[in-house]
Amino acid sequence: MAPSSAEAGSSAAAVSASGRLLVLYASQTGNSMDAAERVGREAERGGCPAVDVLSMDSFDPGRLPSERFVVFVVSTTGQGDPPDSMKVFWRYLLRKDLGAQWLEGVHHAVFGLGDSGYQKYNFAAKKLDRRLSHLGAEQVVDIGLGDDQHPSGYEGALDPWLLSLWKSLNETNPSLLPRVSDINHPNLSILGNPKVHVIYYSSNEVPRDSVVSEPNKIIKNARSMSPALQFHDDGGPPCMLQMVTNQRLTKESSDRDVRHFELEDPSSAISYKVGNTLEILPSQNQSAVDAFIERCNLDPDCYMTIQAKTGDTISKGSLVSSQMDSIKLKTFVALTMDIASASPRRYFFEVMSFFATAEHEKARLQYFSSPEGRDDLYRYNQKEGRTVLEVLEEFPSVQMPFEWLVQLTPPLKKRAFSISSSPLAHPNQIHLTVSVVSWLTPFKRTRHGLCSTWLAGLNPSKDNLIPCWIRQGSLPPPRALVPLVLIGPGTGCAPFRGFVEERAALTATEPTAPILFFFGCRNQDNDFLYKDFWLTHAQDDGVLSSKKGGGLFVAFSRDQPQKVYVQHKIKEQSARVWNLLLSGAVVYIAGSSTKMPADVTAALEEVICEERGVKKEDASKWLKDLEKVGRFHIETWS
């Protein structure tokens, strides 16, 4: 595979005439990229003469008619949204000057990655598949729909879909495209070479004036060097914020630990808006980093750079770093390679099998990476939250070269949190509302969320500087004169605390519109997050007060025999919600991505049915129209 955008674009017509298979992916978390690279590996193994695997934002969509065989692998994010890397490509496909024959002669196949727990399951892939057909492309095989809820994850659908794809392509063009018999032939499996070359330097070889000491520059250098982060990281330097408050919001007796954090910049004011998110790069446990380096027989104190292999570039450009850009190996591992919280991919086990010297380990790894062992691997690996370090320690005969580890270890990703403060109320601070994550695996192993656990363990001090990036969120800041219907159970209240703070600050200088806020939790005594804050703003002339046309409505699901949720409170306040909608209110929903958004949407549809006297289909259309004009927003997280 040669994921080179420049070469792919300029020679598209010439190469596709000889049977090139183009694989385009749009990935938000890395799953689609992994699936696309697997498509490319299998095609090469089957003897396909030319395979290119490219991120969608690396390919000029205007050249699509020049291709003959294109496989699209697309994730769906949030509430049916395409990944960022797909947005420009998708806008191009929606151009009105593209006719029904624009893609005539192009054979396409689409595989989607999604989660059936979301309302708009695999929405991006489904829309892409329909649009390609409308533009004249011929579907090679029915769309494949990978589901995170499947017992084997998305690979439960990918395995049979790939088999169907190769069989169909064989029939379409048997002489040029992958031979299924070769793809599935165990004796023809070869490893190939890693995409990168690691160059090592002793500390004496690195010029002293080239060694960076500022934390934000070290982070930028390390992450821009990592091949695994090329499509997950913009490479910009972080702002280093200091934690000044770490406060538990839930009672000590509660089984849920939700924290209020306050971060500030010691040197300057912070520029952000309500509705923004804060991305945080967590620190890994130092003992885990040391154990990984020791297990892999690496020198923690040497310096290193990473260079793309000749003819096999990794990103949109060429990943080449010089001696002047070198970084200490231990620092690189700590800042870029998630060795102790993320589970390795299936391909990681396949590559390990080539380096296993103990026959029983080799046999087990080969089984795990085979279609027959897929379900067992999923139970052993993903369901148990097995980490790279744990896997390597369980197969002691495997000594993977660092080049492969750099390429295949899951990247250390930033974690995004809704900002729960207003810059008008806190010009030099950012507040966060964070649930400290922990869970039991099927085999009763306790797992902890890396970032939330790390933050909860920090003591507010000048020494605790946290790498942060401020990003535009999916909840646009509302104008002061726009009425709001806010629905945020649990930590979904986080962005709305900022909204209420902002509107309260604005009332001192200008007129503002009312807010209805619906909050839900289990118990009034244990987890009524920011109870005093909401009650204060619901009194007298507060922005949530009935006197101002607003309201605070709280559902305590477990304080009575019958469960009560936010959707029940919405239906109880049907007339008030409807009147505010008629006066131009914008609806914002935030919180868990499981059933809540669908249940709340259904409750709003019931309100419209009852107050407007229409059928459910009409109410659903009314809400969709609200969404189209920017008056209905959802931000969820799993």
Greater pLDDT, 11 or 349: 349
Q: What is the rounded CA–CA span in Å between residue 375 and residue 378?
A: 5
Kindly state whether residue 184 falls inside one of the protein's structural domains.
yes
> Each residue of 430-442: pLDDT tens digit?
999 999 999 999 9
Kindly state whether residue 582 falls inside one of the protein's structural domains.
yes
Residue 275 region by backbone torsions, left for phi larger than 0, else alpha for psi between -120 and 50, else beta: left
Tokens 């490219």 sit on residue: 54
Average pLDDT of the residues in 213-228: 87
Instruction: Please report how the helices 359-368 and 346-355 are oriented relative to each other, as an axis angle in degrees rounded to 10.
Output: 160
Q: Which residues belong to the annotated binding site for FMN?
A: 27-32, 75-78, 148
**68, 17 contact by CB (below 8 A):** yes
**Which residues are within 8 A (CB) of 509 and not within 5 positions of it... i.e. 6 or more apart?**
none
Residue after which a domain boundary falls, among 154, 188, 222: 188
Residue 3 has pLDDT above 70, yes or no: no
Residue 490 region by backbone torsions, left for phi larger than 0, else alpha for psi between -120 and 50, else beta: left
> Each residue of 172-214: pLDDT tens digit?
776 666 666 666 555 546 787 888 899 998 878 776 655 667 8
| pLDDT at 234 (0 to 100) | 65
> Each residue of 115-142: pLDDT tens digit?
887 778 899 999 999 999 999 999 999 9
| pLDDT at 317 (0 to 100) | 40
CATH number at residue 117: 3.40.50.360
What value, to the nearest 5°, has the Cα angle with vertex 430 and ends 429 and 434?
140
| pLDDT at 10 (0 to 100) | 36
- Among 188-192, 339-343, 629-633, the range scoring the smallest mean pLDDT is 188-192
Average pLDDT of the residues in 290-298: 97
Q: What is the rounded CA–CA span in Å between residue 59 and residue 38?
A: 19
Q: Which residues belong to the annotated binding site?
A: 27-32, 75-78, 148, 415-418, 449-452, 491, 557-558, 563-567, 599, 637
Residue 500's pLDDT band (cuts 50, 70, 90): very high
Residue after which a domain boundary falls, among 119, 154, 188: 188
> Each residue of 58-113: pLDDT tens digit?
899 999 999 999 999 999 887 778 888 899 999 999 999 999 999 999 999 999 99
Kindly state whether residue 390 falls inside one of the protein's structural domains.
no
Residue after which a domain boundary falls, among 139, 158, 188: 188
Residue 417 has pLDDT above 90, yes or no: yes
Average pLDDT of the residues in 563-568: 94
Kindly state whether residue 593 falls inside one of the protein's structural domains.
yes
Count of Cβ atoms closer than 10 Å to residue 525 Cβ = 12
What value, to the nearest 5°, has the Cα angle with vertex 379 and ends 374 and 382?
95
| pLDDT at 139 (0 to 100) | 94
Tally of domains in the chain:
2
Q: Which helix (H) or strand (E) holds 484?
A: strand 484-487
Helix intervals (H) in 490-595: 494-506, 531-537, 566-572, 574-582
Kindly state whether residue 509 falls inside one of the protein's structural domains.
yes
Tokens 């790069």 sit on residue: 281
Kindly state whether residue 299 falls inside one of the protein's structural domains.
no
Nearest in space to 565 (alpha carbons), one of 507, 519, 628: 519
- Going along 126-268, which residue ranges are E strands? 138-139, 144-147, 196-201, 239-248, 258-264
Q: What is the rounded CA–CA span in Å between residue 100 and residue 437?
A: 49
Prediction pTM value? 0.88
Greater pLDDT, 148 or 293: 293
Q: What is the rounded CA–CA span in Å between residue 300 and residue 292?
A: 10
Residue 282 has pLDDT above 80, yes or no: yes
- Among 114-128, 317-331, 540-554, the range scoring the smallest mean pLDDT is 317-331
CATH number at residue 612: 3.40.50.80
- φ/ψ (deg, to 5) at 247: -120, 130
Question: β-strands 239-248, 438-440: how paired?
Answer: unpaired
| pLDDT at 615 (0 to 100) | 94
Q: Using the Cα atoms of residue 116, residue 24, residue 388 and residue 415 in order, give the sign of their dihedral.
A: negative
Kindly state whether residue 336 falls inside one of the protein's structural domains.
no
| pLDDT at 227 (0 to 100) | 84
Q: Within 13 Å and on the Cβ side, how many CA atoms surround 41?
A: 17
- Report the side by side order of strands in the sheet with 632-637: 551-556, 515-521, 484-487, 586-592, 632-637
The DSSP letter of residue 345 is P
Residue 613's pLDDT band (cuts 50, 70, 90): very high
* R_g (Cα) of the chain, nearest Å: 26
Tokens 């659908």 sit on residue: 157
Q: What is the rounded CA–CA span in Å between residue 591 and residue 566?
A: 12
Tokens 């086990």 sit on residue: 349
Q: What is the rounded CA–CA span in Å between residue 53 and residue 59?
A: 10
CA–centroid distance for 310 within its chain? 31
- Among 93-102, 355-364, 457-466, 474-483, the range scoring the smallest mean pLDDT is 457-466
Tokens 């507060």 sit on residue: 542
| pLDDT at 12 (0 to 100) | 35
The length of the chain in residues reads 638
Q: Which residues belong to the annotated binding site for FAD?
A: 415-418, 449-452, 637
Residue 13's pLDDT band (cuts 50, 70, 90): very low
| pLDDT at 33 (0 to 100) | 87
The DSSP letter of residue 81 is B
Average pLDDT of the residues in 476-490: 96
Q: At residue 148, what is the residue type?
A: D
Q: What is the rounded CA–CA span in Å between residue 469 and residue 279?
A: 5
Nearest in space to 322 (alpha carbons), one of 194, 225, 411, 408: 225
Q: Which residues belong to the annotated binding site for NADP(+)?
A: 491, 557-558, 563-567, 599
The DSSP letter of residue 411 is B
CA dihedral 25, 27, 33, 34 (to 10 degrees): -130
Residue 637's pLDDT band (cuts 50, 70, 90): confident
Q: Within 13 Å and on the Cβ side, how many CA atoms surround 373?
A: 15
Kindly state whether residue 124 falls inside one of the protein's structural domains.
yes
Q: Which helix (H) or strand (E) holds 469?
A: strand 465-471
**272, 419 contact by CB (below 8 A):** yes
The boundaries of the domain holding residue 633 are 484-637
Nearest in space to 508 (alpha carbons), one of 479, 533, 543: 543
